[in-house]
Amino acid sequence: MKLKQIKLAGFKTFVDPTTIKVDSQLAGIVGPNGCGKSNVTESIKWVLGSSSAKELRGGTMEDVIFYGSDTRQPISRASVELFFDNAQGMAPQAWSSYAEISVKRVIEKEKGSSYFINNTQVRRKDVADLFLGTGLGAKGYAIIGQNTVSQIIEAKPEELKNFLEEAAGVSQYKERRKETEYRLRDTKENLSRVEDLLREINQQITRLESQAETASKYNKHQENLKFQEAQVWALKKRDANESWDQIKALIVNQQAELDQFTTALREIEVKVENARQEHANTSNEINSAQAKFYEVNALVSDAENALNNIKNNLERLKLTVVESEEKLKSHTTSIEEIEKAMEENQNFIQIENEKLTQHQQNAGGDKASLVEVEAEFRASVEKLELQQSENQKIHELINLELTRIDYINKSVDDLEARKKSLHEESLKIKATEPNNENVSPSNIGDIDDQITMADQELAEKKQLLDELERETEKLNLQKEEHLKRFQQTEIQIETLSNFVDNEITDEATSEFLNKVGIDKNRNIFKKVNIEKGWERAFGFILSEYASAYENKRVTPKSLKEIPTNIAVVYEESSSDPSTPNKKLTPIQSKITSKSPNINDVLTEWLCHTYITNDEDLEGDLRELKFGEILIDQSGNIHGKNFQVLRSESRGNSNKLTNLKLLEDLRKDLPSHKNALDTTISKSDQHADKLANLKNEVELLSDKKFNLIEEKNSINLEVNKLQQIEIHKQERVVNIDNELTETEKKISEFKGELNQKQDSLVAHKKDKIKLQNILEELSKKKNILEQKFESERETVVARDKIEQELIFNLKIHQNKHEDFIEKLNLNTNEKSRLEKLISDTHNQLNDKSSENHESMLKESLQEKEGAEKRLIRAREELVTKEANLKNLESARLEKQHSLNPLTEKLQESKIQEREAQILFEQCCQEIEKTSFEESALLDAMESHADVDSIIEKCESLRLKMERLGPVNQAAIDELNSIQERKNYLQRQSDDLTEAMTTLENAIKKIDSETREKLDATYKEVNKNFSEFFKRLFMGGKAELQLLGDEILDTGLQVSAQPPGKKNTTINLLSGGEKALTAISLIFALFKLNPSPFCVMDEVDAPLDDTNTGNFCSLVKEMADKTQFLIVTHNRITMEIAEQLIGVTQQELGVSRVVEVDMRDIDEMELAY
């Protein structure tokens, strides 16, 4: 790739957008000191990804942005863009298809840098990858900054190794190896985490397998229990069905007997119903007669009221006629008055219309005259305003000149003051001495001693902290163990308590105890102590009394109420004076209670029971009397003529052992709690100590940090004083330059002042001429304005009179309309009154009162007949009511005989319903079990009954109890965690395989890199020796490996010019170092030419002879590599095909001038 063009904008002194075209293989960048030549070199290094502000001669990366000058404001953005010719497709594969490639970097204040390739935003790494293996980039050798050429051979061994890797083209392999190592490290970490998870999961699987096995046994017993319980329900269903059939037959017989009595009752009820119907008919007749009577009575009242209303209406109509005739006369008078007023108003309107017409004709001439006068007045005003505008412009010019003169005078005064101030500042700077009393080297030595002491103390505190953390960790483990025991005990107490409560007092038993007034918490076995080892024996011998409570005597209403066996121990008891068998040991010696009445009842239950063991059994049996029994710790019972042996497979669990276990756990709980509290207290104390020690460590760390900060502050102060001294020297130079510039500006301002004063005099003369013209125009305008005002007042007065005439005319027109409306209203009212009077006379002549009097007489006669009929109907109703009462009495007697039969039938139906409910309940319970009834019955033995199957259920429950707490989720958890283990195992296998693949990849990369580096090392050494001999006319130079493994070791340069046997590079002179570095760079270029090479004043330490040798090598290498050389040396300039000049015509701002030397050569040949 060939560099074609450089675009800079805002980068250091290149504030304006600047384009530098590079059209040749050899381009020289020239210009005076400080013009910005090196900024071009640094811009190329910066755009290729440099992240060191120090390399760019700055403090921060934002220092590359133009910071402003005396005439320019600072800006906030800088950008550099390089354009490359990629016609041969030499770029990496991602960009090889582009004929031109541009690389751009942009920086903005407080936003950082952005990178672009072909205007596509990319990462810094993408830019670095574009130039990998070319010698370009942040750590390349193709860009040599100012005064840094000798640093190449003085570089660290690792840095020289980087140059060799770039030349060998293995940088990309190195990057790939680094990425592979990162991935390998991540893979190992992931594999370690997966293996930790697998170990933890294996521990969980071991625990869950045991729990899952227990859960499987529990589920198997539970399934058998469900099947046995289903068989119980099947037997109950069969018994309930038989009972139901018997009750149904009884109901049929009772129903037949009830039907006979019901038939007789229905016959009597028919007679009662007929009597009721006759009674109802008679009542209806009475109601009809009474309604007729009320109707006739209402007609009589209506006739009387109508007759009275007619008389009152006649009086009211006579009064209405009189009032209407008076109103009619009034409206007739009003109509006459309105017609007369209308005629007068019409005459007035006609007269006003004639006046208005005449006035409008006279006003037309006045308005035409006003328009002419107004036109003349407006023209004079426009002329006056035009002249006033000219006068204002001249006035503004005069003010502008005066302002400029004032500004010049003020500027001259300011420059004189500035000149004086600069002189004083220069003298003051020269007289000032630096103050470095507080930054002596002894201060730094004291601080170093304090830092060492702080380090020692900090190490001691950290050792104590580690020991305390280990102790705290041990206490935390003890605390977790005690907490685990305490929680397990609490859980066992809660589980066993619920189990014991449910076993001894289930829900039905609790309801019964509440009903009869027994407190279920007063179980006597909660108040007794059983000697350890004898719980099983007492569990068997007192199993019937497990549900024993202290209370008064209880008398239930029915034995059916009692849900289970319950024993009541009387609160007041009496003892038995019987004498025990003194040759045997009573079992009561193994059980005690603090309650006397409990001891009495235990004596009553156990008075003939003695303890024995296998060794003493035969002897004890000989001493045993009839009615007494022996019992051992296993619960085996021995009598005079029998024995009961207990199976060990049934386990030790029973109600009393569970109660005893519960009490023991409750006694152990406080000790676990105390141990937990003690451990927590110790742990808290250690935590406090640990926190205090951490605070001390933190304070020591802060102290050390503050000391380091103080040391850095002193070093910074030293650097600051040095910078101040440098700044003073620079400031003196700047003051001298500024004084020269100030004197120049004062001279320029004085010349401009003379020009402005001459111009001011001319403007004042023009203003006097315009002032005279303005006075004449103002007089003419005033005369025309007076005439215009006079004409306008005349027109306004006429318009006012016209408006008054129009207003009066409008008022009388409105009055005329009001008269018409009033006339219509009075005419309508007159017509209405005339009609009203006519209608009233017609009503007065009406003869309806005589008809109403005759109707009243007829209604009175009809009322008398209806009253007689009503009396007769009431007498008949009394007779029928007596008959109905007799029949009702007979029906009630029959009904009372029927009630006992109905009650018996109802009781039978209730019993049938109970049997039916029991049958349906059995059916529902069987359906819940999901077992077939036929299968349940087939699986039973022929002689099986409910009690035997219930006993089997109890046996299964006992087995389930022996299993203890069961984790039902263990099976699912085990399956889930097995799947998790399989998944993690696959992950582990994949990670192991990936790790092997990555390790093989690293080995392959190392092999290829070693091979390439070895070949490159030999070739570069050969070229290095060749170029060194050419530049020095002899001598020897080589790159030496510091170790045997080329991949891990660094390089160092060994160079001996002719006649010298120096041992190190540092013994060479500046010119010799530069020539050695150039030899090494060209050796690298010969093997792997870079797209271009930038050299900033590399030839500065060389004499003319060596410069010539250097230039000949550059011309030779320019066939394959493009060179941009910053130089002051004319010999170097002569070989350049293109010269790029950098100037600063405007101080602080760089600009470029380009000259193609090939064009100049052609012009010289032409001449």
Long-range CB contacts (within 8 A, 24+) of 984-990:
984/194, 984/197, 984/198, 984/201, 985/198, 987/194, 988/191, 988/194, 988/195, 988/198
* Sequence-separated (6 or more) residues with CB below 8 Å from residue 477: none
Residue 852 banded pLDDT, cuts 50, 70, 90: low
In degrees, to the nearest 5, what angle opens at C-alpha 1044 toward C-alphas 1040 and 1045? Answer: 105
Three-class secondary structure of residue 533 per DSSP = coil
Q: Which two tokens stand for residue 695?
A: 């605070």
**Whether pLDDT at 81 is above 90:** yes
Burial class for 189, CB neighbours closer than 10 Å (0-12, 13-18, 19+): exposed
DSSP at 532: T
**Whether pLDDT at 634 is above 60:** yes
**Whether pLDDT at 975 is above 70:** yes
Q: Which two tokens stand for residue 573?
A: 């008891």
> What is the pLDDT, as a whole number, of residue 305?
72
Q: Are 840 and 321 in contact (CB under 8 A)?
A: yes
> What is the pLDDT, as a whole number, of residue 652?
44
**Whether pLDDT at 946 is above 90:** no
Model confidence over 158-178: pLDDT tens digits?
777 777 777 776 666 667 777
Q: Where is average pLDDT lowest: 274-283, 704-713, 758-767?
A: 704-713
Q: What is the rounded distance in angstroms from the CA atom of residue 1063 to the CA atom of residue 1056?
A: 8
Average pLDDT for residues 799-811, to the nearest whole number? 71
Nearest Cα residue to 493 out of 676, 672, 652, 650: 672
Q: Are 1138 and 24 in contact (CB under 8 A)?
A: yes
Q: What is the rounded distance in angstroms from the CA atom of residue 668 to the CA atom of residue 686?
A: 28
> What is the pLDDT, as a whole number, of residue 250?
84
> What is the pLDDT, as a whole number, of residue 848?
56
Model confidence over 113-165: pLDDT tens digits?
999 998 888 888 888 888 877 777 666 778 887 767 777 777 788 777 777 77
Average pLDDT for residues 238-261, to the nearest whole number? 81
| Domain chopping of the chain, boundaries | 508-658
> What is the pLDDT, as a whole number, of residue 596?
72
> What is the pLDDT, as a whole number, of residue 1162?
59
DSSP per position, 1063-1120: SSGGGS-HHHHHHHHHHHHHHHHHHS--SEEEEESTTTT--HHHHHHHHHHHHHHTTT
When computed from its CA atoms, the radius of gyration of the chain, rounded to whole angstroms, is: 65
Q: Where is average pLDDT lowest: 454-468, 701-715, 944-958?
A: 701-715
Average pLDDT for residues 1100-1109, to the nearest whole number? 87
Q: What is the rounded distance in angstroms from the CA atom of residue 1072 to the CA atom of residue 507?
A: 109
Q: What is the rounded distance in angstroms from the CA atom of residue 1116 to the CA atom of residue 1132?
A: 14
> What is the pLDDT, as a whole number, of residue 555?
62
pTM of the model: 0.38
Nearest Cα residue to 240 out of 988, 709, 919: 919
Model confidence over 710-735: pLDDT tens digits?
776 676 666 667 666 776 777 778 78
Q: What is the rounded distance in angstroms from the CA atom of residue 880 to the CA atom of residue 456?
A: 131
Model confidence over 519-572: pLDDT tens digits?
666 666 666 777 777 767 776 666 666 666 666 666 655 445 565 556 666 555
Residue 8 banded pLDDT, cuts 50, 70, 90: very high
Q: What is the chain's mean pLDDT, rounded?
A: 76
> What is the pLDDT, as a whole number, of residue 462?
75
Average pLDDT for residues 732-750, to the nearest whole number? 80
Model confidence over 856-891: pLDDT tens digits?
677 677 767 777 777 777 777 777 777 777 777 777
DSSP at 25: S
Model confidence over 579-620: pLDDT tens digits?
666 678 887 777 777 677 777 777 777 777 888 887 887 888
Q: Which two tokens stand for residue 469?
A: 């953390």
Q: Are 580 and 597 in contact (CB under 8 A)?
A: no
> What is the pLDDT, as a whole number, of residue 103?
93
> What is the pLDDT, as a whole number, of residue 7?
93
Average pLDDT for residues 506-517, to the nearest whole number? 64
Strands (DSSP E) found in 796-885? none
> Residue 1114's Cα: distance from chain center in Å?
64
Nearest Cα residue to 992 out of 189, 177, 185, 191: 191
> What is the pLDDT, as a whole number, of residue 559?
45
Q: Which two tokens stand for residue 654?
A: 């029973």
> What is the pLDDT, as a whole number, of residue 205?
81
Taking residue 300's Cβ as centre, other Cβ atoms within 10 Å add up to: 17
**Whether pLDDT at 1030 is above 90:** no
Model confidence over 351-360: pLDDT tens digits?
777 777 777 6
**Whether pLDDT at 434 is above 90:** no
Q: Where is average pLDDT lowest: 656-670, 903-917, 1051-1065, 1134-1148?
A: 656-670
Task: Say which residue the tokens 């198997």 belong to.
Answer: 220
Q: Are 79 and 105 in contact (CB under 8 A)?
A: yes
Q: Where is average pLDDT lowest: 404-408, 895-899, 1013-1017?
A: 895-899
> What is the pLDDT, as a whole number, of residue 10?
92
For the chain, give the longest Cα–Cα distance: 177
Half-sphere exposure of 929 (CA within 13 A, CB side): 24
Average pLDDT for residues 847-853, to the nearest whole number? 60
Half-sphere exposure of 343 (CA within 13 A, CB side): 5
> What is the pLDDT, as a whole number, of residue 102?
92
Q: What is the rounded distance in angstroms from the CA atom of residue 543 to the CA atom of residue 958?
A: 14
Q: Which two tokens stand for residue 417?
A: 């003051």
For every residue of 285-316, which 3-state class applies, written as one string?
Answer: HHHHHHHHHHHHHHHHHHHHHHHHHHHHHHHH
Half-sphere exposure of 832 (CA within 13 A, CB side): 8
Average pLDDT for residues 925-951, to the nearest whole number? 75
Residue type, position 935, single letter: A
Q: What is the rounded distance in angstroms from the CA atom of residue 940 to the CA atom of residue 237?
A: 14
Q: What is the rounded distance in angstroms from the CA atom of residue 270 to the CA atom of residue 650?
A: 75
Q: Of residues 791 and 569, which shows the higher confidence score? A: 791
Helices and strands (H, E) in the chain, number of each type: 19, 23
Most confident of 865-869, 1096-1100, 1155-1159: 1096-1100
**How much of the chain, in percent, has pLDDT values that exceed 70?**
80
Q: What is the rounded distance in angstroms from the CA atom of residue 103 to the CA atom of residue 127?
A: 8
Q: What is the rounded distance in angstroms from the CA atom of residue 1 to the CA atom of residue 812?
A: 106
Most confident of 50-64, 503-517, 519-533, 536-550: 50-64
Q: Name beta bridge partners: 1156.
A: 1138
Q: What is the rounded distance in angstroms from the CA atom of residue 174 to the CA atom of residue 819?
A: 118
Q: Of residues 302 and 1005, which shows the higher confidence score? A: 1005
> What is the pLDDT, as a whole number, of residue 1167?
42
> What is the pLDDT, as a whole number, of residue 712?
64
Burial class for 624, CB neighbours closer than 10 Å (0-12, 13-18, 19+): buried
